[in-house]
Amino acid sequence: MNATRSSNELVLLRGMTMGGSTVLSCGNIARAEHGLKEIGLDLTPEFEEIEESIGIREFPREKWRPITKKMFEVAEELGLKPKIVNKAIDPEKCICCGLCELGCANGVKWDSRNFLDDAIRGGAILHTSSPVEKLIVENGTVKGVKLKSRFKSKTLKADIVVLAAGGIGTAQILKASGLPAKDNLWVDIVLTLGGVLKGANQLKEPPMAWYTKHEDYILSPYFDILSHWFHKPWRNVPITDRVGMMVKLADIEKGTVFADGKVEKIIKREDHLRLDKAISEAAKIMESAGVSGPYVKGMYNGGHLGGTVPLKAEDVDSMKPSWLPRRLWVADLSLAPRSQGLPTILLAAALALKVSRKNNRTLERKINILLDDQKKFVRVNSFKFI
């Protein structure tokens, strides 16, 4: 888990490991598509295919903690129409340790290493501990990447390069290569309100069993592990008695990533106002469910990082922003122009699937042209993934 402080009050989190942030996620699957219709992008086929592929289901209510059930009932009574979250977790094998964000020790939560295993079985070559420093660009065409491996630089040539390092990593590599990235970083700001209920043991279940959807945020029961580690006011209550209700906000798309990896992202006044409104709603649910004060706010953080290579309407047909060099593609949340305020695993996977299919068709056309021009047999032996 990599933590980057983008301002005095905001910490950004990402998974720096095989499988990326899916390894450290809560396993929540939702169709986040804010801002896609405006540019004419429909990911419904990709959403459906991925949902079926990874296998999603609701986490059974009988395994919820009593306070989670009670807050769900209160949300219903308040007319907030709570929905049970679909999860990529096997509920029969889950031991309800509540530590999904540390990586599932029992292997009952899906993460994207499943796809990686498939690629390797298909002939892909995986380089680990080999961070990409920059792209190799010649005459407006990307020819490969320069990476650092075992304390020395190494060059890998490639016919096509696909960046999928997330809203921060992708932008950092682009700028380190002398290429632009947009200052439109969004992070889905998270703020958790903490209350007290003796013996609640909220940690003893997967986070975010249900949520209520509002115009630009969701509310969901959530024990804030990050705040428990690093936020002193949160730790003033025993872990067994702490209850949390999370706000996940679709923030204003304004933030900058620099070539050295530093990030400048502040919480705008408008975001603070919307967070305050959402926190008031969270307090109402908690109080009505019997959770008492003193109420405390956790750490402001963001773990959904996107928007730095945003698609426009004219880019949707190719799934590639027009200003990117030839033979370079991006396949992560960087492409999503708007903040979501929802779980984004499915969105990231759907964007990548859409890009890969466009990429495959481009390769097929090039191979067909080569066949037509040279009138001879061409065989593609393997692809190399980084």
Q: Which tens digits make up the pLDDT trace of 99-121?
A: 998 889 889 999 988 888 888 99
Instruction: Tell me what pLDDT residue 385 has.
Output: 38
**How far apart are alpha carbons 204 and 95 in whole angstroms?**
9
What value does the mean pLDDT take over residues 274-283? Answer: 97
User: Using 50, 70 and 90 to split pLDDT, how confident is the model at 149?
Assistant: confident
Asked if pLDDT for residue 211 goes beyond 90, the answer is yes
DSSP 59: P
**What's the farthest any 2 CA atoms get from each other in the chain?**
77
Tokens in use for 382?
């393997």
User: What integer is the mean pLDDT of 227-255?
Assistant: 95
pLDDT computed for residue 365 by the predictor: 55
Report the pLDDT value the prediction gives residue 150, as an integer from 0 to 100: 74
- Distance (Å, rounded) from C-alpha 156 to C-alpha 176? 17
Residue 341: closest CA among 372, 377, 303, 367: 303
Copy the structure tokens of residue 362: 């481009």
Asked if pLDDT for residue 380 goes beyond 70, the answer is: no
Q: What is the C-alpha to C-alpha distance for residues 348 and 155, in angstroms, rounded to an integer?
A: 28
Domains of the chain: 1-386 (3.50.50)
For the ranges 196-205, 237-246, 367-376, which has the lowest average pLDDT?
367-376
Q: What is the C-alpha to C-alpha distance for residues 308 and 293, in angstroms, rounded to an integer?
A: 40
Instruction: Using CA atoms of 113, 117, 119, 124 in order, give the dihedral in degrees to the nearest 10.
Output: 110
Q: 326 is written with which tokens?
A: 């030839």
Q: What percent of the chain has pLDDT over 90?
A: 79
- Position 363 scores a pLDDT of 52
Residue (of 202, 169, 127) closest to 21 by Cα position: 169
In terms of Cβ atoms closer than 10 Å to its own Cβ (0-12, 13-18, 19+), residue 314 is exposed
> For residue 339, what are its two tokens?
């903040």
**Mean confidence (pLDDT) of the chain:** 91
Q: Tokens 């020790």 appear where?
A: 105
- Three-state secondary structure call for residue 49: helix
Cβ–Cβ < 8 Å for 301, 273? no
Instruction: Tell me how far CA of residue 37 lies from CA of 32, 246, 339, in angstroms.
Output: 11, 27, 14
| Sequence-separated (6 or more) residues with CB below 8 Å from residue 203 | 97, 98, 99, 223, 239, 240
Query: % helix / strand / coil in the chain, to the nearest 5?
Result: 30, 25, 45
Report residue 383's pLDDT band, with 50, 70 and 90 as the boundaries: very low
3-state DSSP assignment of residue 87? strand
Q: What is the mean pLDDT of residues 74-94?
A: 96
> Does 386 have pLDDT greater than 90?
no
Of the ranges 39-43, 149-153, 234-238, 315-319, which one carries the lowest mean pLDDT score?
149-153
How does pLDDT run across 187-209, given as a tens digit for each residue? Answer: 999 999 999 999 999 999 999 99
DSSP structure class, residue 258 = -
